[in-house]
Structure 1
Amino acid sequence: MRSQRLTSQSSTLFLVAISLCFSLSSSRNPNILQRGSSLSVEDDSDMLTSADNTFTCGFYNVGENAYYFSIWFTNSKEKTVVWMANRDKPVNGKGSRVSLLRDGALVLKDVDGSTTWETNTSSTDVQKAELLDNGNLVLKDSTEEIMLLDISFFFFDTDNVLRLMYDGPDISSVYWPNIDLNVFQNGRTNYNSTKIAVLDDMGRFLSSDRLDFNASDWGFGIKRRLTIDYDGNLRLYSLNNRTGLWIISWKAVMQHCLVHGLCGRNGICVYTPETKCSCPPGYEMADPSNWSKGCKPMFSAICSHSQQVRFVKLQHVDFYGFDSSYTTEISFDSCKKKCLEDCQCQAFSYRLSGEGRCYTKVELFNGYQSPNFSGNIYLKLPLSIESSEDIILNGTNYICNSSESIMKIGISSMYGIGGKRMRWVYLYSFASAIGLIEMLLIVSSWWLLIRRRGVQAVVEEGYRVISRQFMKFTYMELKKATKNFKEELGKGASGAVFKGVLADERVVAVKKLGGAYQMEEVFQAEVSTIGKINHMNLVRMWGFCSESRHRLLVYEYVENKSLDKLLFTENFLGWKERFKVAVGTAKGLAYLHHECLEWVIHCDVKPENILLDGEFEPKISDFGLAKLSQRGHKNSEFSRIRGTKGYMAPEWALNLPITAKVDVYSYGVVILELVKGIRLSNWVVEDGEEQETELTRFVRVTKRKIQSEEAAWMEDAVDTRLNGEFSKIQAAKMVEIGISCVEEDRSKRPTMDSIVQALMASKMVEIGISCVEEDRNKRPTMDSIVQALMACEDVSRIRTPDNLSVII
């Protein structure tokens, strides 16, 4: 990637792209610059515009008398630049011009006549430069052959995997995809000989390393850009032509604090709930105006064994990398001693996750705090440094002013340019390349659509797709759709649900919320956030109504009602469907806890809130509702204690802080009910008095039988209505998971993504056993094996969730 050949090609590609922009000044066509013509910086109308008015090419003002030769989106409210020719050397606002010379070279000259930038296309038969509708800038010869600008690919890391990397003044480190997982666990592959990435005109991104994602507003007619932003995150934006605003439709790193380098050396990224930076005890900001420079110690290096030191505990904090030693099955005191005896050790991390794990740290980089991180950091400080036992990291606003630390793609340079310019090229050229890749692929399908329906029809169709994704309804629209709220599907603590049919013939479920809710503006903002959450195992919200006292939510209609109606009745579910419900529900909760745009706690996981579609795929409903309510309002039906009796975690009653582990507890009750087939949330009544819950009795009896190795324990634990037709491997794993989920000590409960992985692992074990059956008729076909393994791949990828903005 650093070869001169690639440097020349890449530079040529972008130079050629720019030359296209000049043909307007000397041609009747506004998107063409003929050979021998120029564009002047002094003429505001001297620019190229694509035929469909999507892209403009010309001089872009970035300051007093400073201009860049650029390409930008015409209809964005603020000019959104996709490429700059002279990024590090702006030209003067007087006398500067870009010209397509007679020898075929496109040249940008400053007012003094010096060449600021040029293509290497001299001595060619280039006749014109043209700005295409897809954003590509091309040079064409007399045969109309496109001579340059093939941007249907870009270069990844040396192992052909697309990555995000922090390249700062002190360190360089990769932070995406998940650095705790290997290539294949991240759903990627490095068994590919190509480095191709495509963002198509529907909003789907595909790459040769198997990275695959869709824009949330998936559909035709929408202009998009994939940009690595100043904060180090990679985001996909969609342009609304009516407002000129960009909307985030996908992002790579869901937990912002996992981006490396945000808070500099010794700094800790925290959520309050917004992302902020904080210095640990004994440290202060190195530069109060720039967090990228991190924190500096307020003490001298500790390197004398006679020097008195103390260790200060930072709960749920970790610093990535720079481990001078790593030891397992070690006690806390032994770990502490290792750091104490190591002159270079600045802190140690100790984790209890089945075994004691000790990491001694010689440097403190990429610090972050997460309530679900299972370990703590213990800072080595002089005894003279005063610090309270209960450390609270509140943080201060994150400021990114440093021009010395840039987030970038891949390990090595795309263009082989050194120094500061190389780091800026990563940022801008990546955004340019992705945008132009998209446009190159759009051109064929877009042109076919234009011929059939016309540009305007396609654009309108694209925005109809957007409007169908999430919209605000009037009360009268929903009243008409539900025939005056005639057919009630169900009723719960948050309100009643009615069946309806929208004007576009979509069947929906309309929930009329009861109780007190936020003011209209706040309600709309919160429900819009919830509406962005999209997962196959979550009920999709299509829109809402907020008028006067009316608060309604519009959801997709799910055919097979709720789980309780198909589990606790005579028409009970078979084992295959039960396992599918267990896995799908776990995936949905894992997405809420770990992967969606906001970190969401459901707070009321129960069979009534798990709906089943036509294929018995589960869809979780009613997530995020507490965010909409005025929980402090005197008339509110919501109190601090949420949930349903029998499914509520003990911390609700103990007034402990509420974390995602309350959902894990509720899920544990549900998965055990899937196994047993009865309401474990009910109370056992003896002699007219409630003795204990069915759950308590089930867990106690099952644990005793397992520990005493009773052979028939599983038959007693599984629903007798199944008549023994169930997978013993899956049943044993579900019971094991369920019991661990309902632990009173929440720190002993697993996370939802680890539950998904455990369930999928049991599925793979079952596949392996079935393959070695002596009776060949009982062995599965390869097609069925492939399908089962593909399902096993669809697991949550992030093992350690971080506390982003919390929706309860």
Structure 2
Amino acid sequence: MFPKPSSLLLIPSTMKNPIHLATPPLACSIIVYFLILPSLFTHTNSKIQNHLERGSSLSVEDDSAFLISPDTSFTCGFHEIGKNAYGFGIWFTHSKNRTVVWMANRDRPVNGKGSKISLLGDGAMVLTDVDRSIAWETNTSNTDVVSAELLNSGNLVLKNPQGKILWQSFDLPTDTLLPSQTLTKGKKLLSGLRNGSFASGYFNLYFGSDNVLRLIYDGPEISSSYWPNPDLDVYTAGRTNYNSSRFAFLDDMGRFYSSDRLQFNASDMGFGVKRRLKLDYDGNMRIYSLNNLTGEWSISWVAVTQQCNVHGLCGRNGVCVYAPEATCSCPPGYEVIDPRDWNQGCKPKFNRSCSDSQEVKFVELLNTDFYGFDLNFTRPISFNACRDICLMDCHCEAFNYRITGEGFCFAKSALFNGFHTTNFPGRIYLKLPGNVKVPEQIFFNRSNSICSAEAEVEVGSTSLYDTKEKRARWVYLYSFATAIGVVEILFFAIGWLFFRSHGLPDTVEAGYRMISSQFRRFSYGELKKATKKFTEELGRGGSGVVYKGVLADERAVAVKRLGDAFQGEGEFWAEVSTIGKINHMNLVRMWGFCSEGRRRLLVYEYVENSSLDKHLFAENFLQWKERFKVAIGTAKALAYLHHECLEWVIHCDVKPENILLDTDFEPKVADFGLAKLAQRGSPGPALTRVRGTKGYMAPEWALNLPITAKVDVYSYGVVILEMVRGIRLSNWVVEDDKEEEAELTRFVRAVKTKSQNEEESSWLEEVVDPRLGGQFSKSQAATLVRVGLSCIEEDRNKRLTMDSVVQLLVECEDD
């Protein structure tokens, strides 16, 4: 089903309403035992207008506090998005149901009591929650903004006294593009998470680095482009990638133009119709046209005519089917994880095993396929030969076989983007354990919808504000908090006096140091003193120079001075605070940062044994046991960043220089999160600025493909193959005046040739670092080589995940 706008509101243009002026409640402050109580709000009645003056505000509690465009087409104000949850947004005034086209705080709704939007005296527009925390703000502080104005176009703008626009909502679209609003490089549309939800979803419309306007599913596990048709090249799809201006817009007549030659028209093309282009929660993009008489919307253009061609709809192992509307289903042997959230897909009812003793069978699904993740593509080929390819490969979960003049075989390493349609010429064969029961006639069990059920959004509790005595309740809360604070101060003072006279036991002092040394902000003076004016350099790279230092509490630290690419103090603070919370034994711990003026510095724990390259490519080289320990520890660190972190982090520069070794030669990965710092505010769902080191960079950097965690997998593969071989495989060589070739390419070619023609024990002796003198575990070496080769596959869909790598290495850790 298509998404439908939510609640109803019609506002007569003559209505008069009170608007809250910016006279906030007095702040509560503690002076020993005294408490200054909050003052009452002051209200001023005013007519609804299209602008907000500097120093005034709108309150969420005032149902009539809005900004309305001069022609009354658009309204701006607080919109209820859940139980006691509100967003500050813009909507069509005269639609039957309130149709929101922009929302400032889509991922952080505010409370239904005490929240407000204010145009501050410093020029910033700020949305504050009931606890006065900032939920959203513009970047216009310390400017001469004098008013906020809602234009007839639906654009909320901030203007200076000369009428110049210093900020506009059109530059920060959510899921909707309005006529006269341009989509350019640096902007994107991001769908809602589910029907009726304003939270950010997984579907994106943006200009890729190849200058083509694309629809991409960027989910928790995969990224996949589905529009224009990925089976066609750019030109066959009617586009061009030669125009780098990257702009697109919908005009007032319903005509859409894009710099990549994409053009289309609304079916009711002409003047006088209100329209909007929206990227819906189901991943499809549509133009909607408003009927002025009924206030209802109708679809006048759609991007993907076959809904099941949208990728990511039904999650891992899920299949999109037509019944007749697009719905989700699980194939035989699988069951849905959460019927309310198809993004999670289906889970197997069996335990997958690579054991030779497990019998398997193939279950045929007619007119069905899973797009992408091809382990193998072969043609021409017989059905039996195709089946044997999947049967012999432990990582194969299914194979697709189709006959269109000749046999085509696609072995699948994972089942994503599944679809079933009668006009598809092939069939998929699921690889299942022999004891899994399946019906003789297979029909997909169809869900009610292709998308997730609506989820309730709730912020806080309204019980604190329900009665007329609500201010009294705040008084009790503040008073209680004050009393607790005073007691803590007394305890702290007594304890300080006691320990000052008696001295601190070692264990207590260690505990104090642990507490006081948590992530914090350092002054530039502190770090300048700690590093002795930045004299002892430990190393340097593309992101900056690292110096050794000793803090006032005698902790040794590594201080990195970042280059000019890292700007914006507020954004920098937000990101490093997030990175500072990341804690894993195989990641270098960040202790804090400094941000003063243009200076940006990061403070890390000091790791004693320097980096892996100093112990791998030098005379004092690591023995096999330490190398394998480094391989496992590094894999665990990357798996944590990719799969377990609350904030998804791609390293983007995995190499021996960024793998540090402690006194026990336990690896600690450094420089993680720097790509995140440099990419704050990136226009697309994936990184576009090239990062990394030549020789360790995955092919997708050069191919302008969306960047995912698989770039780290590739780099990791190069590193572990270097640990096996003992030399730099990332170097390029020229032999016999021939064309320049990567050492890695030569190594891979040699390994594949030898492994096919020789016994494992024989070819391993030839490829493993000769300096080890044969002192290594053959099973571990063989595993590292196989894992490394899988990690550096040119097709990223064929590469392992870091979770899988960890599992494979741990299995042979004791060999």
TM-score, scaled relative to structure 1:
0.46
RCO comparison, higher one (Cα < 8 Å, 6+): 1
